[in-house]
């Protein structure tokens, strides 16, 4: 992320601020929407009727992924660490709600027949269990490493499931790829934002002077959706 008030960005990486109502939440949209489109649409090819498991369903990325997966016709399961976050996920369309502090997500997902796509922010710590929760021909998409960088993988199990492990990051992508992602968001997701169908989940808007407190809350996982800093 960044904290500048003014930045230079190529026109193909911009989304139009169509409505004044979007101004207050504009900062919460681009990265979340681009991350979700890049991973669910372009990378995982999530389809209608498939089951998506979102780890961190109460996060900014998680709340966006739930809504757009539902718009694509997919079913959604999610993990989160509090009732507040799970309630938020349910209000956005998640059907299978798992408190990872209290129960094993693998058992719950297996009871649903397994996940077709897993959007993972944990990395190494969840790799074996994600594979256990995956159904045949499923895709694990790693977008974060909160649980570590190095882990063990049962390749025989991956082979037997005809599964795939994919990993992406927006940072460092060529400008052409970034432009492709923004164009996809503009085509597939932006109409939902403009119509009000998509709801950006904003936990709180704090003054810039409280930036340190905001970062402490994020590090403590005490945020549902996005936490914004107002510069004026």
131-147 pLDDT per residue, tens: 999 999 999 999 999 99
Helix axes 60-71, 83-92, angle to 10 degrees: 30
Region 188-200: mean pLDDT is 92
| pLDDT the model gives residue 24 | 66
| pLDDT the model gives residue 15 | 84
| pLDDT the model gives residue 103 | 96
In this prediction, residue 10 has a pLDDT band, given cuts at 50, 70 and 90, of confident
In this prediction, residue 11 has a pLDDT band, given cuts at 50, 70 and 90, of confident
| pLDDT the model gives residue 22 | 61
In this prediction, residue 230 has a pLDDT band, given cuts at 50, 70 and 90, of confident
In this prediction, residue 232 has a pLDDT band, given cuts at 50, 70 and 90, of confident
The whole-model pTM stands at 0.93
Separation between Cα atoms, residue 57 and residue 36, nearest integer Å: 12
Range among 15-29, 46-60, 200-214 rated most confident: 46-60
Asked if the model's pLDDT at residue 31 lies above 90, the reply is yes
Separation between Cα atoms, residue 117 and residue 198, nearest integer Å: 21
Residue 150 belongs to domain spanning: 1-232
In this prediction, residue 2 has a pLDDT band, given cuts at 50, 70 and 90, of low
CATH of residue 55's domain is: 3.90.180.10
Say which range, 44-53, 59-68, 193-202, has the weakest mean pLDDT. Answer: 193-202
Domain count of the fold of the chain:
1
């Amino acid at each position: 992320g960044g904290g500048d008030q003014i930045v230079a960005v190529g026109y193909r990486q911009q989304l139009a601020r169509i409505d004044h109502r979007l101004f207050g939440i504009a900062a919460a949209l681009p990265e979340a929407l681009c991350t979700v489109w890049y991973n669910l649409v372009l990378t995982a090819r999530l389809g209608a009727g498939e089951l998506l498991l979102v780890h961190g369903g109460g996060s900014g990325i998680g709340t966006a992924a739930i809504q757009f997966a539902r718009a694509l016709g997919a079913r959604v399961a999610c993990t989160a660490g509090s009732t507040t976050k799970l309630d938020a996920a349910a209000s956005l369309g998640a059907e299978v709600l798992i408190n990872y502090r209290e129960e094993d997500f693998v058992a719950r997902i297996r009871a649903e027949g397994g996940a077709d796509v897993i959007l993972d922010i944990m990395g190494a710590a969840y790799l074996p269990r994600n594979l256990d929760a995956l159904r045949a021909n499923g895709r694990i998409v790693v977008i974060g490493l909160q649980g570590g960088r190095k882990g063990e993988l049962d390749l025989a199990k991956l082979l037997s499931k005809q599964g795939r492990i994919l990993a992406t990051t927006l940072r460092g992508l060529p400008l052409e790829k970034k432009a492709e992602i923004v164009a996809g968001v503009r085509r597939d997701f932006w109409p939902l934002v403009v119509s009000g169908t998509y709801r950006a989940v904003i936990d709180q808007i704090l003054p810039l002077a409280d930036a340190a407190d905001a970062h402490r809350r994020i590090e403590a996982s005490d945020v549902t959706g996005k936490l914004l800093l107002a510069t004026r």
